[in-house]
Amino acid sequence: RSGVHPWYPRSMLRQRSALLGFFVGLLLWGVTDVARAEEDDPPYKLQSCAEPNPDSSLQADLGSGVLGIGYEHRLVKHLSLRLTAQYNKPWYTETWGGPDTDAHAWVVELRPFIFPFGTGMKGFYLSPFGRAGVGYARDGLDETASNPVWSVGATAGYGWMFDYERILLRLGAGAQYWHHEVGKREKAGVNGVYPQVDIIAGWAF
């Protein structure tokens, strides 16, 4: 055994032990990684702040003659209900043969959204609505008059949800009846049926 260092076999043994330990650790890591991947669907999917198919939404209502903030809650997969505080100003009535009016109002709207296909808060919807509040107008009067006012209508449209169902967008169209006439003897404001457009954006949770 001349010329062979006595520590050489021990050194090789330590290297082999270290190499074996490395491969065992790598194998255990791989098994753990596969198990963790099986728990994710799909693997390592980033979790959203909202659960899939959320049941609530805070919304901005930007429809025709409407500016409002509302809260919508899903009651069942076919139906949700929204309560909205709105500023109404039917600025477009003259375009459709109505009066050129400065009427405006502060109202509360109650509005169900019906999803015939049970798609939660997205997809095709039908939506009747009613509003009531206090309206103001001057038009040709000597001073601004005020009265209780109301409007009713219905629309049909479609809703989308983006970013893991956090962002909501709906577009729709229909008709509504404005009863925004004020004054006692002399009247100002507007009464009549006019088009209604839905533009709704929201944050779902």
Tell me, yes or no, whether 22 and 90 share the same domain.
Answer: no
Q: Residues 115, 175: one domain? A: yes
Using only C-alpha atoms, what is the Rg of the chain?
32
- State the CB neighbour count (10 A cutoff) for residue 35: 9
* 118 & 20 share domain: no
Each residue's pLDDT tens digit in the chain (205 positions)? 444 445 445 655 566 666 666 666 655 665 555 455 455 544 444 444 545 789 999 999 999 999 999 999 999 999 999 999 999 999 999 999 999 999 999 999 999 999 999 998 999 999 999 999 999 999 989 999 999 999 999 999 999 999 889 999 999 999 999 999 999 889 999 999 999 999 999 999 9
Domain of residue 26 covers 1-45
Residue 50 lies in a domain: no
- Same-domain check for residues 38 and 73: no
Q: What is the pLDDT of residue 53?
A: 80
Q: C-alpha distances in angstroms, 101 versus 21, 137, 200?
A: 84, 7, 25
Whether residues 72 and 98 share a domain: the answer is: yes
Query: Domain check: are 78 and 152 in the same one?
Result: yes
Q: Which of 109, 88, 71, 113 is nearest to 180 (CA)?
A: 88
Does one domain contain both 70 and 140?
yes
pLDDT confidence of residue 113: 99
CATH number at residue 144: 2.40.160
From CA 130, how far away is CA 145, in angstroms rounded? 23
Q: CA–CA separation, 83 vs 57, rounded Å? A: 11
The total number of structural domains that make up the chain: 2
In a domain, 28, yes or no: yes
Which amino acid does the sequence have at 29?
W
173 neighbors 157 (Cβ within 8 angstroms):
yes
Same domain, 66 and 41: no
Reading the block at residue 23, the tokens are 């491969």
- 178 and 147 within one domain: yes
Residue 51 lies inside a defined structural domain of this protein: no
> What is the structure's pLDDT at 173?
99
Same domain, 34 and 105: no
In three-state form (DSSP H/G/I as H, E/B as E, the rest C), the secondary structure along the chain is CCCCCCCHHHHHHHHHHHHHHHHHHHHHHHHHHHHHHHHCCCCCCCCCCCCCCCCEEEEEECCCCEEEEEEEEEEECCEEEEEEEEEECCCCHHHHCCCCCCCEEEEEEEEEEECCCCCCCCEEEEEEEEEEEEEEECCCCCCCEEEEEEEEEEEEEEEEEECCCCEEEEEEEEEEEEEEEECCCCCEEEEEEEEEEEEEEEEEC
101 and 24 assigned to the same domain = no
**Cis geometry, peptide bond prior to residue 42 (ω within 30 degrees of 0):** yes
